Structure 1
Amino acid sequence: MPVPLPGADRVDLRPPDRAETVAIVRGLRGMIAPSGEPTELQRLLIRAISHSMTGFDVDPDAVTPLPPEELARKLERRDAVFRTRILQLALIGELVEPQPPAEVCSAIETFALAAGVDDGMRQVARDLADGALGLALHDFERNGYTADWSPDSCRQLHATAALAEPWDQATHDPELAARWAELAHCPPGSLGRGVHQFYEARGFVTPGLPDSAPPYLAQHDWVHVVADYGTTLEAELEVFGLIARGIPDPRGFSMLAMVLGLFETGRIERAAGLFEADAGHLSRDRDGMAVRLGDAMRRGAVAGVDLLGVDWFGLSALPVDDARRELGLPPKDGAATAAGSVGPWDKGGISPFQQRSGRAKAEAEGRPYLSYGAELG
């Protein structure tokens, strides 16, 4: 029987204390490695994310695993959203495995049933464990955050034609292209001017023009600037970790599941209308990336805003720091910066391909190339 959800008079909405954090880490270890040891990447992720989200540092190697049913009982005073977030932490540990072991899927399913909650990405992980990649991709689309998309969902994008699917392009939309071009005239130091320079330095094509990214995907480019993240694939993991955890609807987790499949396991070959698989970017620097991802998720949780649903043009004239405050977005933790997290104008904040594209576009337009400080790492 599932552990009943508490009523309004019993629900605990306080942040976890140390004892509860230890219990959660024990439970996560019990789900991710039911009969063995977590991988090094899984250990680092459990430790870094739990520390970023609670403030308590718990070493997964220093605790005994907790059975999934017992963890559910320890969360008896927590609501469905809290329990779902814990399920999603376990799913992160599962989804960084190219083919999750069946026993891990079973342990996570046991917790979901005992806690009375679920997440659509659990079925995706089960499909991957069964080797059913095609079914996994189908279930990802069916259970993800954008599954309920409708043309009314995209007013903030300002496309003149309705977008039937979230990742549809708008490549011949003069009004939309003109709106993006106007960002060049925003005040110096503003968010809008920063986004214009962000595109210029990397040779990106703005929505509304041929060969541009989908307008919905372009929403995340504003996040790179306002949240101070570069544009390497490691930084994309940070950006989507922030976005996914910031979306109040727990289904937003699918955005993080998407980039884990693209940029860690490579099991998702193509997504979001533009991204293509390039595996290993979370495990390449396991220690640093675990800290960076954990901090990005913390920042998203504090803000609690669907950053893909923001009408960014309404904030474009604000100084970047003011826009950040308007969104309730906290700064990076120093540990993330020390671990290698950089901004779009820093060394390591741009990829070689993007730099070449920026130079080629500048040459084609007959102007000097400006990187605005972005350098190769």
Structure 2
Amino acid sequence: MSFLIPTHEQARAGLRAMKTVLTAAGPLTPIRREALGAIQQHLLRTDHDLDALGPITPEELAAAIDDPALRTQLIGGMVTLTLTCDTVADEEQQAIERFAAAFAVESVTLAQLRKFQTERLMALRFDVVRRSLAGPALGQLYEDQGLLGVVKNLGSFAGLWENRAVAERYRALAHYPEGSLGKELWRFYEANAFKFPGEKHGAPESLLSHDLSHILGGYGTDYRSEGLVLAFQAGYKRQDPFSVLVFLLLNGQHGLRLTAFADPARGFYNDKPGAIDEVVRAFARGARVTVDFTDHWDFWAVMDRQVEDLRREYGIEPAAA
């Protein structure tokens, strides 16, 4: 789904609900206050005084928001917000459960939170990965190239062999026009000493939307920037976008290793003023993109196009906007 913009009154009710969840076990923490402020500024375009917002009951919230898609989105937002701290209180989960029950919606992210709270970490890893980026990418790889294609790509990534034809196609990007997506991708790999798809230890081609999002979004490769790219991807992803944010926060705030591609950290966003605001801003920026680059996007068809032209065509706003 695309991110839904609620009405002013729906937004106020939703903010009250999110604050109700986040204060269920104590005062609003600074990082969560920053997150709520960022949601207002970058997504909702509201400026409610958070301290003046009172609690709301599940029945009141259900009366204010009746759209099932908006209800599901709000539950996903609640779960994501609880994970911005490096601990989640049982009272916070219970508050979300009450809102979800009143909404009568099934939430993927709430099911993930239940697994996290009960320490069913193997099941949690499987569910988050299969829904966020890696799982859908491998699924599309299977659709496009069959089982043999999956085996070839994973074998290259594992360093077992080189798929020379694939690797040579990417190496040839060095000869693409200056400023083109292909040339910038080649520069990106060269500057970071990354292996090209097809080379030993090169990432599967189906995950290339992540690297191309670095280029189209103008994001770096340090740990903080990697989080922003994931948030940007969550914004434009139409299916299970909040699972990408759950992945980001489990990995960066809770120290949970989910894949071989992302090193975990615990409390990365603690004591970094503005860091969570950046994440929300990247998500909002992605939400205004007109294409889901993770959903069968034919990037080879535009490799020779200028990056600036593609940004305008896809609705990618300047990073500082």
Fold shared, TM-score > 0.5 on shorter chain: yes
Q: 2: CA distance between counterparts of 1:156 and 1:325?
A: 30
- Deviations along 1:87-133, one digit per CA (max 9) or x if unpaired, are 11111112223342111111112222222323222122122222343
Q: What is the root-mean-square deviation in Å for CA atoms of aligned residues?
A: 2.8
Matched residue, 2:286: 300
Match of 2:164 among 174, 189, 197: 174
Deviation, structure 1 residue 14: 8.1
- Which piece of structure 1 moves more, 156-165 or 167-176? 156-165
Q: 1: CA distance between counterparts of 2:131 and 2:175?
A: 40
Larger RCO (CA under 8 A, 6+ residues apart) = 2
What amino acid maps onto 2:292 in structure 1?
D
Does structure 2 retain, via aligned residues, the 8 Å contact 1:303–1:329? yes
Deviation, structure 1 residue 190: 1.2
Map 1:335-374; keep pairs closer than 5 Å.
none
Does structure 2 retain, via aligned residues, the 8 Å contact 1:205–1:211? yes
Q: CA 1:201–1:111 in 2, change beyond 3 Å: closer, same or farther?
A: same
Deviation, structure 1 residue 322: 0.9
- Deviations along 1:57-109, one digit per CA (max 9) or x if unpaired, are 23422311222332222112x2x222222111111112223342111111112
Matched residue, 1:257: 246
Deviation, structure 1 residue 155: 7.5
Does structure 2 retain, via aligned residues, the 8 Å contact 1:175–1:208? yes
Match of 2:114 among 119, 126, 142: 126
Aligned with 2:149: secondary structure? coil
Q: 2: CA distance between counterparts of 1:44 and 1:157?
A: 42
Matched residue, 2:199: 209
Q: 1: CA distance between counterparts of 2:121 and 2:75?
A: 22
Matched residue, 1:313: 300
Select the structure that is richer in helix.
2
Q: 2: CA distance between counterparts of 1:156 and 1:222?
A: 21
TM-score by length of 1: 0.75
Aligned with 1:303: secondary structure? coil
Aligned with 1:276: secondary structure? coil
Does structure 2 retain, via aligned residues, the 8 Å contact 1:229–1:238? yes
Does structure 2 retain, via aligned residues, the 8 Å contact 1:157–1:311? no
Match of 2:275 among 289, 301, 306: 289
Q: 2: CA distance between counterparts of 1:69 and 1:37?
A: 23
What amino acid maps onto 2:269 in structure 1?
L
TM-score by length of 2: 0.87
Q: CA 1:158–1:174 in 2, change beyond 3 Å: closer, same or farther?
A: farther
Matched, 1:162 2:152: no
Q: 2: CA distance between counterparts of 1:84 and 1:33?
A: 21
Q: Which runs of 5+ in 2 are unaligned?
A: none
Matched residue, 1:86: 74
Aligned with 1:123: secondary structure? helix
Q: 1: CA distance between counterparts of 2:144 and 2:313?
A: 19
Does structure 2 retain, via aligned residues, the 8 Å contact 1:31–1:67? no
Q: Which runs of 5+ in 1 are unaligned?
A: 1-12, 335-377
Matched residue, 1:104: 92
Q: 1: CA distance between counterparts of 2:205 and 2:87?
A: 32
Deviation, structure 1 residue 138: 4.0
- Which piece of structure 1 moves more, 134-143 or 321-330? 134-143
Identity %, equivalent residues: 26
What amino acid maps onto 2:80 in structure 1?
I
What amino acid maps onto 2:122 in structure 1?
G
Aligned with 2:194: secondary structure? coil
Matched residue, 1:25: 15
Q: 2: CA distance between counterparts of 1:30 and 1:200?
A: 48
What amino acid maps onto 1:235 in structure 2?
S
Matched, 1:137 2:129: no
Q: CA 1:200–1:160 in 2, change beyond 3 Å: closer, same or farther?
A: farther
Match of 2:184 among 188, 194, 218: 194
